């Protein structure tokens, strides 16, 4: 497509970002901002498209380490730093002292934390009696079923944080966010166990492609 310098100003990735915001950029254009400059015969947007094609998309690209990506170390570090900034921003958003009243805030945070794992991770947001965040912890890894998620351990962590309520989450590496029968069963087991120590289960999110699924909104809690 030729040098980006030859493009109209409004179509250049950086100018487009400044004028219309980052959301207006395609995945390849966002990568071009990090890549900075192209190579002989390939501009930065072309290289971004090449990377996305070779790895299978933005999510797959960001999950790979530097040795698996045909990207310079500086650009790769910039990408990883941007991901971490996003995670920390969402973490700060949850910890400003206000109670969690909007499920979408929790969903965004939990997707940022768990969405990239290639294996299942079960995590928990611990909340006080005003639903303010006390802590976030990844508790278990592996298939989410009765054998891998131990209610006794969840109770122990709740008591350690002096939590009054919890929000559970786990990811489906397949990308499918439909709750399984095992997801529903372990949620009910945990709710029963935590009721004995007066801790409420507010929700359980299944994280995958797209918006996480809330079991509470499905009437499963």
By the 8 A CB rule, do 125 and 167 touch?
yes
What would the 3-class secondary structure string for the chain be? CCCHHHCCHHHCHHHHHHHHCHHHCCHHHHHHHHHCCCECCECHHHHHHHHHHHHCCHHHHHHCCHHHCCCCHHHHHHHHHHHHHHHHHHHHHHCCCCCCCCHHHHHHHHHHHHCCCCCCEEEEEEECCCCCEEEEEEEEECCCCCCCCCHHHHHHHHHHHCCCEEEEEEECCCCCCCCCHHHHHHHHHHHHHHHCCCCEEEEEEEECCCCCEECCCCCCC
Given this model, what pLDDT does residue 99 score? Answer: 64
pLDDT value for 61: 74
Q: Could you say which architecture CATH assigns to the domain 99-214? A: 3-Layer(aba) Sandwich (3.40)
The whole-number pLDDT of residue 26 equals: 85
Alpha-carbon radius of gyration of the chain:
21
The pTM (predicted TM-score) of the whole model is: 0.65
Asked if 183 contacts 147 with a C-beta cutoff of 8 angstroms, the reply is no
Parallel, antiparallel, or unpaired for β 200-207 and 165-171?
A: parallel
Both structure tokens of 189: 């087991």
Domain ranges (residues) in the chain: 4-88, 99-214
List the pLDDT tens digit at each of the 221 positions of the chain. 567 776 876 788 888 888 888 778 788 888 888 777 777 778 878 888 887 787 787 777 777 766 666 777 777 787 778 777 777 776 766 665 566 667 888 898 899 889 878 889 999 999 999 998 899 999 998 766 544 889 999 999 999 999 999 999 999 988 899 999 999 999 999 999 999 999 999 999 999 988 999 999 999 88
């Amino acid at each position: 497509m030729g040098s980006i310098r030859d493009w109209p100003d409004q179509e250049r990735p950086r100018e487009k970002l400044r004028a219309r915001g980052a959301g207006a950029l395609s995945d390849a254009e966002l990568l071009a901002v990090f890549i900075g400059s192209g190579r002989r015969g390939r501009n930065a947007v072309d290289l971004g498209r090449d990377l996305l094609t070779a790895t299978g998309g933005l999510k797959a690209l960001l999950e790979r380490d530097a040795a698996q990506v045909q990207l310079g170390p500086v650009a790769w570090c910039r990408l990883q730093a941007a991901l971490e900034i996003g995670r920390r921003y969402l973490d700060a958003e949850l910890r400003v002292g206000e109670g969690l009243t909007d499920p979408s805030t929790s969903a965004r945070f939990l997707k940022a934390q768990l969405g990239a794992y290639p294996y299942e991770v079960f995590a928990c947001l611990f909340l006080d009696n005003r639903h303010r965040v006390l802590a976030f912890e990844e508790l278990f890894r592996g298939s989410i079923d009765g054998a891998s998620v131990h209610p006794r351990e969840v109770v122990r962590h709740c008591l350690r944080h002096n939590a009054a309520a919890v929000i559970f989450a786990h990811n489906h590496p397949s990308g499918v966010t439909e709750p399984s029968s095992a997801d529903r069963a372990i949620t009910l087991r945990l709710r029963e166990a935590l009721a004995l120590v007066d801790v409420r289960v507010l929700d359980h999110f299944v994280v995958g492609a797209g918006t996480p699924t809330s079991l509470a909104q499905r009437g499963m809690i």
